[in-house]
Amino acid sequence: MRKNIKTKVKFSVESLLFGIENPRGNIEQVLFAMKMAEYEGIENCNRLAKLSFGDDTVNKAFSGAVAMDETLILGHEGWSDSTLHLCIRSGRSAVRIATGHFPSQEIVMFEDYREAILLHKLSEKEIEEVFNELWNNMDMLQPKSKFLWREDIE
């Protein structure tokens, strides 16, 4: 189930994990998330979601460039803290956008994103809005209780 967010930057969040005790998901996305989490120093990646923007050009490559598959948020949510990493998955590579830490609400922006050549990039203010909305609504990142088949969603 997608949830639409009410901020200046229009986006929706879709959790990509399912299962309560031992969350699982699409193998390709989960393996990517595990590798990215390890690279970013996130020990236990227990959150994975796809962000879809109202503007289809956000985080998309120019025609003929390497395709950008999807914008993902991954990380760890603990009892009193969380570390979330925002990135763009592109096949086997990635563009790191930012990492946010809660409760300190510290956001670290990455040069990778600033230097990426994309149709439309989020501003630092828009990235901050995304993290604030996620921190205020962490339930959006919770794994789904069960796997939903495509026909269950439509």
What is the tens place of the pLDDT at every residue in 59-110?
887 765 555 679 999 999 998 999 999 999 987 679 999 999 999 999 999 9
Mean pLDDT of 124-138: 94
Task: Name the pTM for this structure.
Answer: 0.83
| Whether the predicted pLDDT of 148 surpasses 80 | no
Percent of the chain with pLDDT over 90: 54
> Each residue of 85-119: b (16+ CB within 10 Å) or e?
bbbbbbeeebbbbbbbbbeeeebebbeebeebebe
